[in-house]
Amino acid sequence: MPANPQGQVAVPDHKRWGADRGPVLKLGKYLAIAKINLHQAIVYRSNVLGGLLFYALFIFVFFSLWRAIYHGGEVQGYSLRQVVWYLCITELLVFGCRTPVFTQMNEDIKTGALAYQLIRPCHYVAYQFAGAVGRMVFNLVCFGILAVVLGMVMVGPLPDYALTKLPLGILSACLGLVINFFLLMCLGLTAFRLEENGAFYLVYQKLVFMLGMFIPLEFLPGWLQRIARWLPFPYVAWAPARLLVAFSWPLFWQILPLQVFWAAIAIGLSLLLYRQGMRGLQANGG
């Protein structure tokens, strides 16, 4: 046996720290991942400029459009102010906080880069989510400030706005982001089985656009609204934006459980797809 200067054989000690850490330190691990992503986003902050400009253009065009459409009064319970703020929020959530998770998954799976994540003691799905959270924090701040500025400049503050309800709206926004992220992850994970899964992404994106991002769900014809409420897509953008511009307790209790439900479904499904995919990967290589 080759000499070992310490005169001892390195034997793995399973009880050594690392092998069975408690969940608290585990959380710290993912916080660190979020932090480094945030750091990278800040270092590359100039990347966000084009997006901000586009965001402003989009809001301006739609503000002009809605102003032309509204001749005072309300449409389906939304005033002009509310509908502009609504748009600022949905665009913030869908465009401002867009995540590349779908393309990332696709690439990682198709290039086999996923395998290199396996040799680390952390869960790939959680790793991706933590990374996305880090990047989103940065985007939320940048686009959030712009959203508020644009809203204030174009239509001014909402009258009699109940600031105390704001945290509840923000909670709903976070849930919307979680639903969006994990649904996209599910779609990305289909790359384990399908060569061409880009169509899923496009369809998903358009469903989110149409069922809540461009126009409040209430503007849609009745039959479509009834269908849409059973689907996860309005809970990404419509639900939080609606609660943020026109909060009501009955609506909140109607929306929140559904958001939690869809978030749970999306998370559960991504974990399941990941596990199945991994089994295939270990059997067949990258």
Partner 1 sequence: MSNGHKLHSIFTLIGLYFRVNLASAMEYRSAFMLQVFGMVLSNGSFVFFWWVAFSQIGARIGGYDFTDVMFIWAVTSSAFGTANILFANMNHISRLIISGELDTFLLQPKSVLTSVLCARTSLSAWGDLLYGFLLIALTQGADGRAWLMFFCGLVIGALLMTAVAVTAHTLTFYVGDASTLAGMSVEFIVNFCIYPKGIYAGWVQVLMATLIPATFMVHLPLQLARQFDLLLFAGLLAASAAYCSLAGFFFYRGLRRYESGNLIVTRL
Partner 2 sequence: MNMIEAYDLSKTYRTRVRGEGLAASARAMFRPVYREVLAVQSIDLVVPPGEIVAFIGPNGAGKSTTIKMMTGILRPNSGSIRVLGLDPVRERSNLSYHIGTVFGQKSQLWFHLPPTDSFTLLGRIYDVAPGVLKKRIAMLTERFELGALLDVPVRKMSLGQRIRCEVAASLLHEPEILFLDEPTIGLDVVVKQAIRELIRDLNQEKGTTIFLTSHDAGDVEHVCRRAIVIDHGRIVLDQPVKKLKYDYLNRKIIAVRFTEKHDLKTLPGIEVQKTGGLGSRLLVDTRIRPIGEVMSWLVGSGAVADITVEDPPMEEIIATIFSSQDEGGA
Q: Which residues bind partner 1 (CB under 8 A)?
A: 49-50, 53-54, 57-58, 61, 64-65, 67-69, 75-76, 196, 198-199, 202-203, 206, 209-210, 214-215, 219-221
Q: Is 145 exposed, middle or buried (0-12, 13-18, 19+ CB in 10 A)?
A: exposed
Q: Which window, 56-64, 208-216, 225-233, 276-284, contacts partner 2 (CB under 8 A)?
A: 276-284
Helix (H, G, I), strand (E, B) or coil at 161: coil
Cβ-Cβ contacts under 8 Å for 225 (sequence gap 6 or more):
217, 218
275 binds partner 2 (CB under 8 A): no
- DSSP designation for 219: G
The interface with partner 2 within residues 37-96 (CB under 8 A) comprises 39-40, 43-44
Q: Binding residue for partner 2 (CB under 8 A) from 25, 49, 203, 231?
A: 25
3-state helix vs strand vs coil in the chain, percent to 5:
75, 0, 25
Q: Please report how close the Cβ of residue 81 comes to partner 2 at its closest, in angstroms.
A: 41
Residue 75 C-beta: closest distance to partner 1, Å: 6
254 binds, among partner 1, partner 2, none (CB under 5 to 8 A by kind): none
CB of 68 to partner 1, least distance (A): 4
Segment 60-65 long-range contacts (CB within 8 Å, at least 24 positions apart): 60/150, 60/154, 62/87, 62/214, 63/87, 63/150, 63/154, 63/155
Contact 263, 184 (CB under 8 A): no
Q: Is 115 in the site for partner 2 (CB under 8 A)?
A: yes
Q: Contacting partner 2 (CB under 8 A), which of 118, 166, 170, 272?
A: 118
- Sequential DSSP letters for 75-93: ETTEEHHHHHHHHHHHHII
Q: Helix or strand or coil: residue 222?
A: helix
Residue 194 CB, nearest approach to partner 2 (Å): 7
Q: Return the one option of partner 1, partner 2, none that residue 163 interacts with (CB less than 5 to 8 A, by type).
A: none
Contacts of residue 168, Cβ cutoff 8 Å, sequence gap at least 6 = 243, 247, 252
For position 276 contacting partner 2 by CB under 8 A, the verdict is no
Please tell me whether residue 120 binds partner 2 under the rule CB under 8 A: yes
Residue 187 to residue 171: CA distance in whole angstroms: 25
Stretch that binds partner 2, among 53-61, 100-108, 113-121, 183-191 (CB under 8 A): 113-121
Q: Which entry of partner 1, partner 2, none binds 160, CB below 5 to 8 A by partner kind?
A: none
Interacting residues with partner 2 (CB under 8 A)? 1-6, 8-12, 14, 16-19, 21, 25, 28-29, 31-33, 35-36, 39-40, 43-44, 113, 115-116, 118-122, 194-196, 281-286
